[in-house]
Amino acid sequence: MKLPRVILASASPRRAELLQQLGFKFEVIPGKAEEIAPAYLSPHEVCEVNAHRKARVVARANPDALVIGADTIVCLGKKLFGKPRNQADARRTLEALAGKTHHVITGVCLMELAARREKLFAVNTMVAFRPLTAAEIRDYIKTVHTLDKAGAYAIQERGEMIVEKITGSYSNVVGLPMERLGEELRGWPNG
């Protein structure tokens, strides 16, 4: 399979590590686009729109490349949790998620601008948190850098401290739904 030049439009080292597992050569050029979350969009749509915005910024400068944009959010009911603003916000987020099952949704946009090709999809994984005490939340925040992670946690970094069970794609919770992304890349036109 021969893909065009591939660019990951994300600064996330976790996403880069996941994409490496597929064995594709790629570059990293972060897609600096403001993330939006209008109330009239569903959580899936919010992720897809933001993944599209990130991919488009990079694709405009690299129209012959296949650009991969991604956006991950955590949602509990209708409440969306992005990256916490500070430690107090991280604590409040973990308190809200403790003892409950929430959704982790990652939107992915594949964009090859010059060829006028685009694919947009979102993958949902359910994550059940253990009930957590204030001390357990404090310990987790001390152990894991929570400020650059949607929902103030990283399943791959001491997830056993807080996560009871996941239903769906583990890699989706890390930041890229590898099963679906691999399938889409393998079937990419001219691939």
Point out the residues that are catalytic: 71
Residue/partner pairs of 84-92 with CB below 8 Å, 24 or more apart: 84/146, 84/147, 84/152, 85/147, 86/147, 87/141, 87/146, 87/147, 89/152, 90/141, 90/146, 90/147, 90/152, 91/137, 91/138, 91/141, 91/152
List the structure tokens of 154.
């990283």
